[in-house]
Each structure stands twice: as structure tokens, then as C-alpha cells.
């Protein structure tokens, strides 16, 4: 395959070039490549990003939402430009906290249309299971409300000390939904990481103070999610004042959202916390959810169960939200390439991923920066159709996703 004329993120900057792919690897990058017998993708006017890496999803192949499968989730990933995604361990009924469950999920992952890997769940006592499974990463939940995967500080420290230091430990440190409880959890996680003297990654930081405390440990990295930058607690409260969280951690104030935008350079990665929740929602139960840019979004609320989904699908909108922000001068293309691709690969210790470089895996996301479109959840590939960004008009969209040297998604 030959990609011709794309403006590609190569060597830390964007330049126009041709990209030759042989089998599943990038073979050559040059200003001009002419070769016979290759499938040619004319990419003039398109931007080439390294295939996106999603380190935080909640997928329900085994029990939560019978209609959704890893096939559906991977279709959603590819439509959003992602070529590799990681699933979290807390997906009932088959929680990934034993070697048997871990191996079973890896077998099921072969059904996916893009690469799918799994974080192993740390529990209060499963140190031997972690050793036997030898996973590439573990996730530690310090939130006491998260059932069998919630761990004490003592057990968390032991996991940090026992797990190989070259492998990533991901932390859900926010012990509750208030800002104060989140800060308390992150302070404690930093303390434990210092004692263990190891690198850790903080998931879904939602306030500037969380980022600052986490980054006070020199071996820490942090990510955030689109919902903490593109909408707010006040927006949710307009719809349902008694329950304005719509996520875990909860949405934050508009003041905090503004602060997070000013702190973008301190954030290492962007992860969606993509979640596929199923509720008995009828169309008549739909309510209007105003996005931060004052356009109206449609978010679904179930009167029959009287609750909101704490989480929503994010992979089909995340990159587009930031491409739109780029069109408005709020963020650079370099920031996008680094936080969606390059840095997640570094955080996860992935060799051969996260860059458009010779010898690397041929995962490439082609985007049209001028493509205007309107978010319509009913057209999502995921079976969960609700999104707080419904109705938003965005500029910039994925038009092709190349996974291991083959076109895996093409925008019709």
C-alpha cells in the first residue's frame, strides 16, 4: 500500500510525504515514492496521524448489554480512528482478576476488527493470580464503591511493589465524586507510588488540582477525558438537577473546565473512558442536554429506572471534538498526535506503536480537517447510541483508518 501526499506526523512534526506500507509495517517514508503494483491511496488534503491508542474502555462482550460485542466496539473504535484499545477489568460478570478470566478475554479479543488488549484487575488478595497471569498492565481501584476490585491502601502498595517496574500500573484514584475526595485519593496514590518508587498512570483526571498533585510525583503520567473539557456539571444540572454527575468521576464546574483547557500541556494523554451502558430508554424519555458551546445535545435518561448512565460511548467522537477545537485555534495538531497516539504508546510501553516511522506497525488514521458534520448517535457503530455531544456541529473527521496495513474503515 502507498499513501501519497498526506501531511503526516513524522519525527515530532507534520510534513507532506508519501508512506509505503509492506505487509503490516511502514517500509519507507519520503517526499516522493513511485512504485508499481501497490494499492495507492491519494491523500492530498488529508492529515495522517499515527493510529490512535485508547487506553481506557469498558466493553461488555460478556454479559453487560447482550447486543454489544467486541466486533461492535472495534467498529466504533475504527470509525473514531483508533487501531488499538484497552479494556478495563471491572466488567461483570467476568471480572478480569484471575489468569483464567484474563486468558478467556484474550481469546474473545480475536473477534475484534482492531487490536484489543486488557488491563488486569488488582484485588485485595490476588497477588499470586497477577504473577501467574503475567499481564502487560494492572489497574488499581482506590474507590471503595467499586466492589470486588476496590483495594485498601495496604494492598495497593503491595501490588505496586510486586508488579514489574517496567510495566504500567494504572490508577483510579478518585475515591468518590466530589473534587475533595478525588484530591484525597490522588494524594494517597502519589504517596504510595513514592514508597514503591515506581511509575504510575492516573486515569481520568478532571480538575487542574488533580493534575498538579499527580504530576508532583516525577514518575507519574496523567490523562483526561473529553467530557471534562467539552461539557460541565452545570450543563448536566439543567437536565436533572438531583443527579448531575453523568460520569465517574463526576462532571466538573465550568470554572474547572476552563482551567483544564489552560492546563492542556500538563496532560499526557487523552482517554475516553468509553462505556457501553444499556437502559430501557424510550424515545419519549429523551431530554435535551446543552453542550458547553451552547448547542443542544440529546442525552438519554430512563424514567423507568430513574437514573443516568454513568458513562457513555466516546471513541466515535473524541478525535473529532479535538479536530474541531484545532479549527478554532484551541489546540495544536502536534498536541493531538501526541496525546492520542504517541504518548499512550509510551505510557503502555508499546514498541513499534504510536508513530509514523519506518519499521513501525502500519496503523495510520487519515483525517479531513475541513469535513463538517453533525454528531448523530443513531448512526454510531456501537449499540449504545446516547452521547452528550448529540447535535454538535464539528469540523474535522476521520475518513480512513488503516490497521496493520489494510484499510479497516472508510467514511462513506
Helix axes 179-196 and 153-162, enclosed angle (nearest 10): 40
From CA 397, how far away is CA 412, in angstroms rounded?
12
Tell me how far CA of residue 15 lies from CA of 41, 49, 390, in angstroms: 17, 11, 34
Residue 143 lies in a domain: yes
Residue 302 lies in a domain: yes
How many structural domains are present in the chain?
A: 1
Q: In this predicted model, what pLDDT tens digit does every residue of 279-321 receive, in sequence order?
A: 444 333 334 333 322 222 333 333 333 333 456 789 999 999 9
Q: Choose the weakest-confidence range: 58-67, 107-116, 130-139, 331-340.
A: 58-67
* pTM recorded for the entire structure: 0.91
Q: Is the pLDDT of residue 87 over 50?
A: yes
Q: How confident is the model at residue 148 (pLDDT cuts 50, 70, 90)?
A: confident
Q: Are 90 and 149 in contact (CB under 8 A)?
A: yes
If we measure between CA atoms, which residue out of 196, 198, 176 comes closest to residue 185? 176
Cis peptide upstream of residue 380 (ω within 30 degrees of 0): no
Residue 17 lies in a domain: no
> In sequence order, which ranges of 355-408 are alpha helices (DSSP H)?
none
Q: In this predicted model, what pLDDT tens digit does every residue of 8-47 receive, in sequence order?
A: 999 999 999 999 999 999 999 999 999 998 899 999 999 9
Print burial letters for 39-75: b (CB count within 10 Å at least 16), e (below 16): eebebeebbbbbbbbbbbbbbbbbebbeebbbebbbb
For residue 363, the 8-state DSSP code is -
From CA 139, how far away is CA 283, in angstroms rounded?
37
Residue 107 lies in a domain: yes
From CA 183, how far away is CA 188, in angstroms rounded?
9
Q: Over range 145-168, report the average pLDDT.
A: 91
From CA 282, how far away is CA 289, in angstroms rounded?
16
Residue 89 lies in a domain: yes
Place of cell 462513506: 412
For residue 250, the 8-state DSSP code is P
Q: Output the domain CATH number for residue 60.
A: 3.20.20.140
Residue 104 lies in a domain: yes
Structural domain of 293: 52-350+372-393
Q: Are 13 and 32 in contact (CB under 8 A)?
A: no
Residue 23 lies in a domain: no
Residue 297 lies in a domain: yes
Q: Which pLDDT score, from 0 to 100, does residue 277 have?
A: 59
Amino acid at each position: 500500500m502507498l499513501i501519497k501526499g498526506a501531511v503526516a506526523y513524522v519525527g515530532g512534526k507534520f510534513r507532506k510525504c508519501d508512506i509505503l506500507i509492506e505487509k503490516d509495517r511502514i517500509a519507507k517514508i519520503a517526499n516522493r515514492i513511485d512504485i508499481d503494483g501497490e494499492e495507492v491511496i491519494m491523500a492530498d488534503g488529508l492529515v495522517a496521524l499515527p493510529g490512535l491508542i485508547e487506553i481506557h474502555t469498558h466493553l461488555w462482550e460478556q454479559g453487560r448489554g447482550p447486543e454489544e460485542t467486541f466486533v461492535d466496539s472495534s467498529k466504533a473504535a475504527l470509525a473514531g480512528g483508533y487501531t488499538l484499545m484497552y479494556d478495563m477489568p471491572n466488567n461483570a460478570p467476568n471480572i478480569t482478576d484471575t489468569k483464567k478470566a484474563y486468558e478467556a478475554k484474550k481469546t474473545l479479543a480475536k473477534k475484534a476488527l482492531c487490536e484489543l488488549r486488557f488491563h488486569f484487575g488488582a484485588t485485595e488478595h490476588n497477588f499470586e493470580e497477577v504473577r501467574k497471569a503475567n499481564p502487560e498492565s494492572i489497574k488499581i481501584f482506590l474507590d471503595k464503591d467499586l466492589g470486588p476490585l476496590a483495594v485498601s491502601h495496604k494492598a495497593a502498595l503491595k501490588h505496586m511493589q510486586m508488579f514489574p517496574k517496567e510495566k504500567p500500573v494504572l490508577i483510579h484514584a478518585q475515591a468518590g465524586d466530589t473534587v475533595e475526595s478525588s484530591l484525597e485519593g490522588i494524594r494517597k496514590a502519589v504517596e504510595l507510588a513514592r514508597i514503591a518508587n515506581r511509575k504510575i498512570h492516573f486515569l481520568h483526571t478532571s480538575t487542574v488540582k488533580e493534575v498538579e498533585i499527580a504530576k508532583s510525583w516525577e514518575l507519574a503520567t496523567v490523562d483526561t477525558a473529553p467530557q471534562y473539557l467539552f461539557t460541565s456539571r452545570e450543563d448536566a444540572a439543567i437536565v436533572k438537577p438531583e443527579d448531575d454527575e453523568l460520569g465517574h468521576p463526576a462532571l466538573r464546574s465550568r470554572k474547572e473546565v476552563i482551567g483544564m483547557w489552560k492546563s492542556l500541556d500538563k496532560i499526557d494523554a487523552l482517554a475516553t473512558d468509553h462505556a457501553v451502558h444499556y437502559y430501557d430508554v424510550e424515545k419519549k424519555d429523551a431530554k435535551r442536554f446543552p453542550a458547553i458551546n451552547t448547542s443542544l445535545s440529546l442525552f438519554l435518561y430512563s424514567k423507568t429506572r430513574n437514573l443516568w448512565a454513568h458513562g457513555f460511548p466516546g471513541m466515535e467522537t473524541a478525535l473529532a471534538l479535538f479536530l474541531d477545537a484545532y479549527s478554532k485555534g484551541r489546540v495544536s495538531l502536534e498536541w493531538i498526535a501526541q496525546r492520542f497516539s504517541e504518548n499512550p504508546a509510551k505510557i503502555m510501553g508499546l514498541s513499534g506503536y504510536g508513530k509514523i516511522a519506518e519499521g513501525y506497525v502500519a496503523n495510520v488514521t487519515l483525517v479531513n480537517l475541513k469535513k463538517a458534520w453533525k454528531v448523530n448517535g443513531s448512526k454510531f457503530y456501537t449499540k449504545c447510541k446516547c452521547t452528550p455531544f448529540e447535535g454538535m456541529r464539528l469540523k474535522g473527521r476521520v475518513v480512513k483508518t488503516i490497521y496493520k496495513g489494510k484499510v479497516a474503515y472508510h467514511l462513506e
